[in-house]
């Protein structure tokens, strides 16, 4: 398994387990310059963006039980509703697709190695490795 696939799977699992308190005031933020992600209750105040100057934080919305993926840049977001769409690093606006609800079962795509904790088998379309995801229960 390549290092890129391992790190994507580790990042995916980290993102999906980062905030467990649904109904809280936590929000998903992304820097519009360097695309760094952060989950906080208030807009982050962190200088030193790796793209130069200070970060330009944008809220994708409140943290919640719905797992969405941008089919253009592969960003995963747990939110209460469809995330806000501007400024995808792949160009234009994000194109969000609902994968499923957060749960205890671990599913992995055999093709792209994406790993999710969901309450049921995730939706399958738009695998970055081509075609639809091929999910198996881990």
Q: How far apart are CA 78 and CA 83, in angstroms?
A: 9
Total domains, the chain: 1
Q: How far apart are CA 115 and CA 30, in angstroms?
A: 21
Q: How far apart are CA 12 and CA 106, in angstroms?
A: 12
Which pLDDT does position 22 carry in this prediction? Answer: 52
Domain span including residue 60: 3-137
Predicted structure pTM score: 0.78
Token digits for 91?
């160009």
pLDDT tens column, 24-80:
689 999 998 998 999 999 999 878 899 999 999 999 999 999 999 998 988 999 999
Q: Are 42 and 50 in contact (CB under 8 A)?
A: no
Token digits for 78?
């747990």
């Amino acid at each position: 398994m390549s290092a890129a696939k391992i790190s994507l799977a580790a990042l995916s699992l980290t993102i999906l387990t980062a905030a467990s308190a649904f109904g809280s005031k936590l929000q998903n933020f992304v820097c519009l310059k360097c695309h760094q992600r952060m989950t906080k209750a208030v807009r982050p105040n962190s200088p030193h963006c790796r793209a130069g100057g200070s970060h330009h934080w944008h809220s994708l919305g409140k943290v919640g039980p719905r797992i969405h993926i941008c089919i253009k840049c592969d960003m995963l977001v747990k939110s209460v509703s469809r995330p806000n769409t501007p400024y995808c690093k792949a160009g234009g606006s994000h194109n969000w697709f609902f994968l499923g609800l957060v749960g205890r079962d671990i599913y992995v795509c055999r093709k792209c190695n994406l790993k999710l904790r969901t309450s049921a088998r995730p939706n399958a379309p738009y695998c970055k490795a081509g075609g639809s995801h091929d999910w198996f229960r881990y």
